C-alpha cells in the first residue's frame, strides 16, 4: 500500500526530515521525505496498512517540540505516486513546488544544552561560538530562500569538513541534516580587532585565547560583538564610566534604559527578583529581554536604568555568549544594540567598524553574513486574574517569522500593511494568517524606511507572494509610512487604504483575542499619539467596533497644549497649558514657586514669553487642531512633571514610565481613592473629565500631601474610570468583549486595575487582552490587515 502525506506549518528547520526518516526506518517503510518550496513537507511511503497507520499516528502525536501542523493531509492507496521501485527510505532532494497554503520556517533558536556541553569537551567544538545542531541555531537571520537547505542559507559559503559531513549524513546523529552545523575546521570564525582596525587576535589565535574578550570587558573596556542577528555593544555593569560613555555616544537615547545579559537565574538574583516563572520565560526559545524588578541587593550602575524600579534582563542565547560568560566577573554585562539612535542595528563588518570606532575599544567580529538583521524581543510579565503572563513589548528575534492566525477560515485577499511611524513593523496578510516583520524602529530616517522595505520584500519572497491586492497604512498624512504606501500603491496599480490609528489598535486586539469578525468589541486605546478622524490628536479613546467599522464612544477630555511635538519633549508645557485654564499667569508663577521641585520652570529663560504666548493662544482659541489632544500619555506626562518625577522627555514614554516607578516606591497603591466624573458631550460621546483629576492632584500637592500616594492614586483613578465607562458602554450596546490596547497597557498598575474592574463586573463580560503581539504600535500593521481585507471582500 502507498500513502502520500502533505504537511504545512512549522516543519522545516527543526529537524523534521531526520525525525520522519528515523520513524520510517523504525517501521520498515520505504519511500522518501522532502522539503517543499512553500516550507511544507511531502512524504511518500510504501508499507502495510498497519505500518502506515502506526507511522501516521506517531508523526501526529510524537512530533518534535517545535513542530506545528496547520494542515495535515494523508491519502492512502495513492495511485499517482511515482513509485520508482522504492527499495529504502531516504531524504530526497528538495523541490521548489509550492501549494496554496504556505508554511513557514521557525525563528532563530538559542543554542541548546547539548551543544553547550560539547563546547566544553569536544575537541572540534571546544569554545566554538557557532556550535549548533538540528535543535538549535539561527534560522530566519541566515535563510536566503526556501526550501530550507544549506545551499539556501548563508552557510553555503562554508563547505562542511569531512567530520561534519559524516555527522550531517548519519541518521543516528543529532546533526543529521542540520543545516547550520559546522566546527572550528570548516565554519565561521571570530577575530578581535582594536578600534583602529588593528588585528589583536586572528581566528586561529582566538581559538587558543578565547577568554581575552572577557578579560578586556572585566578591565572596563567596551566591545562591539557581532552576534546572530546584529551587533551588541557590551561593557561592565558595576562600573559607571563605560555606561556613561555609551549613553553619551547614543545621544538621542537620553536616559533610556539599557538591557543587561546575565548568565542564569542565580547571577540575576544578585541584582533583581527572578522567580521560577520569570526564569522560565527567560529560558524559552525566544530568549527575550524580560523586565525584572530590582531587588534590595541591586548594586549595578544606576545609569543602566535610571530612576526605574525594573531592569531588562536576557540570558545567553548564542555560543559567543556562552564563551564570554565563562570568565566574566560582573553578575551581568550591558548588552545594548550596536547602532546610533534611530538607525537599524549594524550587521556588516565594515559598517560596524566605521560607525562604532569612536565608542568601542574593540571589535569581536565574525565572517558569517547576517542576511536578516533582527533585534532582541522584549517582554514584561503582567498580573491578570491572579495569574502572570507575558506582555510583548517588542516582537522580534525568537518570534519572527511565526504568523498570527485570524479567526476566520475562508481565504482572504493578500495585502501588505505598513503600520505606524514609531515601533514600526510591516505585515503581510496571506489567507487567514498574518506574517509580521521583525522590529524596524522609528521611520524618521531613510535607513529605517529601507529596512522596512527590504524586510517586507524578504518576507514576500519566503511566502511566495507575487500579487498584492491592497496596501494599508495609518491615517496620519505626514507619516513616512503614508508616503511609502502611496508610492507602492501607485507603482503596483492598487489602492492605498488608510485607517485611524486607534481603530487599528482595536482590530489588533480583536485579532489577538480570536474574536469573530462579526462580533463587536469595546477597546480602551490608551497611548501617546494617534491622528484622529477630526484632525485632533487622540490617545485616550474608548472605541466600539469590529473589522468593518468603529465608533468613538468615549474619550478623555481634550486638552489644548500649544507647541505640538515640542510639548511632548517638554511636558511642562502641558502643565502650564492646563494651569492657564484655571488661573492667571501670576497665580501660576506664585503656585509653582511654592513647590521646590517645580521652581526650575519659572527659572527657564523663555518662561515669561512662553506663558504669555500660550495664554494668548488659549484665550483667542487660536490653536491648531493637532495641538488639541485627548492623549492619556500626555495626561500622565503632566502628572509626572507636576509631582516632580521628570523635567524633560529624553526617550519615548519616559515621564509616564518613571511615574509608574515613582508610584511604587511607598507601596501606597490602594490607600487613596479618587473619583473622575464623566459626562456626555455634544457629539454623543462620553468625556472623562481629566481636568477634574488634574485640579484635585494640584490642590492636594499645595496641601503637601504625599506625592507617592498621589501618583499611585492617579494611576488607579484613571484605570478605574476608564473601565467603568467601558462597562457602561458595553451594557448599553449589548457587547461582552472588553479590552485594552496601546502603550499605556505596559503600566502594570493601570493594566491590572482596568482588568480587575472588568472581571469584578461579572461573567457577562469577557476581558480580552494581548497575548501574541505587542500592545503598543508594534501591533498596528497587524490590526490593519483584517481592516483592509474586509474592505476588499
- Which residues have a catalytic role annotated? 17, 35
- CA atoms of 183 and 130, how far apart (whole Å): 7
- CA atoms of 621 and 72, how far apart (whole Å): 64
Any idea which residue has 482588568 for its cell?
A: 755
Residue 610's Cβ-side half-sphere holds a number of Cα atoms within 13 Å equal to 21
Distant-in-sequence, close-in-space partners of 721: CB < 8 Å, separation ≥ 6: 675, 676, 678, 688
Are 602 and 593 in contact by the 8 Å Cβ rule? The answer is: yes
- CA atoms of 413 and 465, how far apart (whole Å): 11
462 phi and psi, to 5 degrees?
Answer: -65, -35
- CA atoms of 673 and 655, how far apart (whole Å): 23
Three-state SS at 296: coil
Three-state SS at 221: coil
Distant-in-sequence, close-in-space partners of 225: CB < 8 Å, separation ≥ 6: 213, 231, 232, 233, 234, 320, 324, 338, 364
Are 361 and 241 in contact by the 8 Å Cβ rule? The answer is: no
Q: Which three cell numbers stand for residue 590?
A: 506664585
DSSP state of 438: P
Q: Which three cell numbers stand for residue 755?
A: 482588568
- CA atoms of 452 and 441, how far apart (whole Å): 9
Are 748 and 365 in contact by the 8 Å Cβ rule? The answer is: no
C-alpha to C-alpha distances, 131 to 119, 123, 315, nearest whole angstrom: 7, 12, 17
C-alpha to C-alpha distances, 160 to 142, 163, 166, 203, 724, nearest whole angstrom: 16, 8, 9, 18, 64
Q: Which three cell numbers stand for residue 84?
A: 520508482
Distant-in-sequence, close-in-space partners of 55: CB < 8 Å, separation ≥ 6: 23, 24, 27, 29, 45, 47
- CA atoms of 49 and 1, how far apart (whole Å): 7
Closest CA to 412 of 395, 392, 431, 394: 431
- CA atoms of 693 and 677, how far apart (whole Å): 9
- CA atoms of 31 and 29, how far apart (whole Å): 7
- CA atoms of 317 and 331, how far apart (whole Å): 17
Sheet with 496-499, strands from edge to edge, namely: 404-405, 433-436, 427-430, 415-417, 470-474, 496-499
- CA atoms of 628 and 198, how far apart (whole Å): 56
- CA atoms of 728 and 304, how far apart (whole Å): 43
Number of neighbours of residue 500 by Cβ within 10 angstroms: 22
C-alpha to C-alpha distances, 44 to 29, 34, 36, 54, nearest whole angstrom: 10, 9, 13, 15
Any idea which residue has 569538513 for its cell?
A: 161
Number of neighbours of residue 125 by Cβ within 10 angstroms: 23
Amino acid at each position: 500500500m502507498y500513502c502520500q502525506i502533505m504537511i504545512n506549518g512549522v516543519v522545516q528547520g527543526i529537524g523534521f526530515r531526520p525525525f520522519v526518516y528515523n520513524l520510517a526506518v523504525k517501521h520498515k517503510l520505504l519511500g522518501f521525505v522532502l522539503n517543499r518550496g512553500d516550507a511544507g513537507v511531502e512524504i511518500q511511503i510504501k508499507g502495510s496498512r498497519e505500518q502506515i497507520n502506526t507511522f501516521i499516528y506517531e508523526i501526529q502525536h510524537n512530533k518534535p517540540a517545535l513542530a506545528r501542523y496547520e494542515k495535515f493531509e494523508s491519502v492512502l492507496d495513492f495511485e499517482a505516486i511515482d513509485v520508482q521501485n522504492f527499495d529504502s527510505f531516504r531524504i530526497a532532494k528538495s523541490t521548489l513546488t509550492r501549494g496554496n497554503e504556505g508554511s513557514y520556517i521557525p525563528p532563530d533558536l538559542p543554542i541548546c544544552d547539548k551543544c553547550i556541553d560539547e563546547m566544553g569537551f569536544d575537541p572540534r567544538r571546544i569554545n566554538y561560538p557557532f556550535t549548533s545542531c538540528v535543535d538549535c541555531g539561527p534560522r530566519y537571520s541566515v535563510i536566503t530562500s526556501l526550501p530550507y537547505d544549506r545551499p539556501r542559507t548563508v552557510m553555503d559559503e562554508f563547505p562542511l569538513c569531512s567530520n561534519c559531513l559524516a555527522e550531517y549524513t548519519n541518521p543516528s546523529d543529532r546533526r543529521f541534516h542540520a543545516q547550520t552545523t559546522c566546527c572550528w575546521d570548516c565554519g565561521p570564525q571570530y577575530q578581535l580587532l582594536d578600534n583602529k582596525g588593528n588585528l589583536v587576535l586572528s581566528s586561529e589565535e582566538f581559538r587558543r585565547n578565547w577568554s581575552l574578550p572577557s578579560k578586556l570587558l572585566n578591565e572596563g573596556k567596551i566591545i562591539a560583538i557581532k552576534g546572530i542577528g546584529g551587533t551588541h555593544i557590551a561593557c561592565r555593569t558595576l562600573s559607571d564610566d563605560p555606561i556613561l560613555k555609551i549613553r553619551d555616544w547614543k545621544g538621542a537615547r537620553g536616559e533610556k534604559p539599557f538591557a543587561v545579559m546575565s548568565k542564569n537565574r542565580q547571577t540575576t538574583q544578585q541584582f533583581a527578583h527572578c522567580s521560577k516563572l520569570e526564569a522560565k520565560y527567560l529560558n524559552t526559545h525566544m530568549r527575550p529581554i524580560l523586565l525584572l524588578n530590582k531587588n534590595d541587593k541591586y548594586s549595578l550602575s544606576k545609569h543602566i536604568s535610571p530612576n526605574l524600579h525594573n531592569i531588562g534582563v536576557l540570558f545567553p542565547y548564542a555560543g559567543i555568549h556562552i564563551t564570554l560568560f565563562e570568565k566574566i566577573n560582573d553578575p551581568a554585562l550591558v548588552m545594548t544594540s550596536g547602532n546610533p539612535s534611530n538607525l537599524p542595528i549594524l550587521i556588516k563588518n565594515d559598517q560596524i567598524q566605521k560607525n562604532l570606532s569612536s565608542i568601542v575599544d574593540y571589535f569581536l567580529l565574525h565572517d558569517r553574513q547576517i542576511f536578516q538583521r533582527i533585534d532582541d524581543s522584549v517582554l514584561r510579565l503582567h498580573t491578570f486574574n491572579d495569574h502572570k503572563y507575558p506582555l510583548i513589548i517588542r516582537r522580534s528575534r525568537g518570534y519572527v517569522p511565526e504568523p498570527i492566525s485570524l479567526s476566520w477560515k475562508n481565504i482572504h485577499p493578500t495585502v501588505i500593511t505598513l503600520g505606524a511611524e514609531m515601533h514600526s513593523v510591516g505585515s503581510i496578510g496571506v489567507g487567514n494568517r498574518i506574517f509580521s516583520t521583525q522590529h524596524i524602529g522609528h521611520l524618521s530616517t531613510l535607513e529605517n524606511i529601507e529596512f522596512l522595505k527590504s524586510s517586507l520584500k524578504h518576507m514576500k519572497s519566503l511566502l511566495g507572494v507575487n500579487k498584492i491586492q491592497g496596501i494599508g497604512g495609518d491615517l496620519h498624512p505626514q507619516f513616512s509610512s503614508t508616503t511609502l504606501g502611496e508610492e507602492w500603491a501607485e507603482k503596483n496599480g492598487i489602492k492605498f487604504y488608510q485607517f485611524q490609528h486607534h481603530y487599528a489598535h482595536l482590530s489588533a486586539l480583536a485579532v489577538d483575542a480570536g474574536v469573530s469578525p462579526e462580533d463587536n468589541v469595546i477597546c480602551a486605546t490608551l497611548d501617546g499619539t494617534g491622528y484622529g478622524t477630526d484632525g485632533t490628536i487622540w490617545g485616550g479613546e474608548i472605541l466600539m467596533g469590529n473589522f468593518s467599522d468603529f465608533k468613538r464612544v468615549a474619550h478623555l477630555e481634550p486638552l489644548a497644549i500649544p507647541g505640538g511635538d515640542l510639548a511632548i519633549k517638554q511636558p511642562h508645557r502641558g502643565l502650564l497649558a492646563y494651569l492657564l485654564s484655571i488661573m492667571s499667569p501670576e497665580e501660576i508663577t506664585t503656585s509653582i514657586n511654592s513647590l521646590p521641585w517645580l521652581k526650575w520652570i519659572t527659572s527657564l529663560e523663555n518662561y515669561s514669553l512662553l506663558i504669555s504666548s500660550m495664554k494668548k493662544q488659549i484665550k483667542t482659541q487660536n490653536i491648531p487642531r493637532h495641538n488639541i489632544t485627548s492623549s492619556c500619555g500626555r495626561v500622565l506626562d503632566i502628572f509626572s512633571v507636576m509631582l516632580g518625577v521628570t523635567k524633560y522627555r529624553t526617550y519615548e514614554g519616559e515621564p509616564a514610565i518613571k511615574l509608574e516607578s515613582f508610584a511604587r516606591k511607598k507601596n501606597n497603591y490602594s490607600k487613596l481613592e479618587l473619583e473622575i466624573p464623566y459626562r456626555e458631550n455634544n457629539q454623543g460621546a462620553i468625556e472623562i473629565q481629566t481636568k477634574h483629576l488634574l485640579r484635585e492632584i494640584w490642590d492636594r500637592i499645595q496641601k503637601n500631601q504625599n506625592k507617592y500616594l498621589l501618583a499611585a492614586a492617579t494611576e488607579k483613578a484613571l484605570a478605574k474610570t476608564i473601565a467603568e465607562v467601558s462597562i457602561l458602554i458595553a451594557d448599553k450596546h449589548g457587547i461582552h468583549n472588553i479590552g485594552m490596547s496601546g502603550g499605556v497597557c505596559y503600566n502594570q498598575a493601570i493594566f491590572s486595575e482596568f482588568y480587575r474592574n472588568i472581571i469584578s463586573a461579572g461573567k457577562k463580560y469577557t476581558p480580552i487582552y494581548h497575548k501574541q503581539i505587542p500592545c503598543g504600535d508594534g501591533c498596528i500593521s497587524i490590526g490593519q490587515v483584517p481592516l483592509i481585507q474586509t474592505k476588499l471582500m
